[in-house]
Amino acid sequence: MSARVVGGQLAAQFAPRVRLNEPLARHTSWHVGGPADVFFSPRDRADLIAFLRALPEGVPLLWLGLGSNLLVRDGGIRGVVISTRDALCALERRGDREVYAEAGVPCALIARQCGKWNLGPAEFFAGIPGTVGGALAMNAGAFGGETWRQVAGVETIDRAGEIHARRAGEYQTGYRSVTAPAAEEWFLAALLHFDGASTADATRALLEKRRQTQPIGEWSCGSVFTNPPGDHAARLIEAAGLKGLRIGGAVVSTKHANFILNEGRATARDIESLIAHVQEVVARAQGMTLHPEVRIVGEAA
Ligand SMILES: Cc1cc2nc3c(=O)[nH]c(=O)nc-3n(C[C@H](O)[C@H](O)[C@H](O)COP(=O)(O)OP(=O)(O)OC[C@H]3O[C@@H](n4cnc5c(N)ncnc54)[C@H](O)[C@@H]3O)c2cc1C
């Protein structure tokens, strides 16, 4: 059964937390993306479980944090989008060295709170403008730190609304890659382990360094491509002469060549075309294949 067919029923049952044809440009840091058939912001865990149980089998499901690593195409999402933003926001200290964080907690808050608790290394979370759920899915990392290095275990939820407790060792993780032990399980929370300290001063210094080298505050998804082994995508793009290159309203940043900016009127199609063009030119000029770090989802318009 399609999400469009069940949308009305879900909207009636879960009003006002279900919105139909919700433009995803409102929920992504590139500020592009067509509508989701059904967009759900759960009130809490019980609400989320009830929603999953009400969802007919086979309806496609996409989880969304802060949309800071997602290119949603202009035709939008045929299916259901579950947003953890402003939901699943518990953040608690557990014992001496552990922190329990639900999927909707912004990574920046982890850095801030761990600074107050003097637990680290957690400064790197300040550089990731997404949620804990997104950071777990991406194995997000910054300033030499990486999400899964700090994970002791996670709680996940499946389509049937069943909750699972999993150890970190059940996941295979690498540079911006995570292989889960089961398909169709999504992150509800993580238990993070810290064996050192972190300070607000160290976090501020790292953020200042970032401000000097990256176009922070502009509409982007951070680094578009992963770094190839032993090299940097930004160096390859700059060496190919692509800084400042533009398609429609999308432009390769002149400050950091691995960032593509929406200058205000870009479509997802502009951005995707620019991604493909950069890949093509770098492959021709340098013989290197660049792989997108950003996840590209949805239908073309
Ligand atoms: C200015 C800027 C700088 C950035 N710098 C960095 C950086 O230094 N390092 C870095 O790693 N990233 C960086 N990013 C990218 C991005 O912030 C990270 O990838 C982040 O982890 C994405 O989190 P999110 O909540 O926004 O996820 P989203 O973009 O909403 O989703 C990303 C993926 O995670 C999945 N997902 C989201 N929540 C869940 C969940 N609960 N369970 C299962 N899957 C889920 C989504 O389905 C999607 O596939 C940057 C982005 C920007 C805009």
Q: How far apart, in Å, do the first and last CA atoms of the chain sit?
A: 22
CA–CA separation, 131 vs 117, rounded Å? 20
Cβ(107)–Cβ(128) below 8 Å: yes
| pLDDT score for 6 | 81
pLDDT, residue 202, reads 85
Ligand 1 geometric centre to CA of 246 (Å)? 24
Residue nearest to atom 41 of ligand 1 (CA): 133
- Give residues (CB < 6 A) around ligand 1: 29, 62-70, 84, 103, 127-131, 133-135, 137-138, 140-142, 186-187, 216, 220-222, 295
pLDDT at 1: 63
Query: Is the overall model pTM greater than 0.85, yes or no?
Result: yes
Q: Where does residue 145 rank: exposed (0-12), middle (13-18), buried (19+ CB within 10 A)?
A: buried
For ligand 1, the distance from its centroid to the CA atom of residue 60, given in whole angstroms, is 20
Q: Give mean pLDDT in consecutive 10-residue pieces for the chain, a chain of 301 residues.
A: 77 93 98 98 97 94 98 98 95 96 98 94 96 98 96 98 98 98 96 92 90 96 97 98 98 98 98 98 96 98 94
Distance between CA atoms of residues 43 and 66, nearest Å: 17
Q: Residue 65 Cα, ligand 1 centroid: separation in angstroms?
A: 7
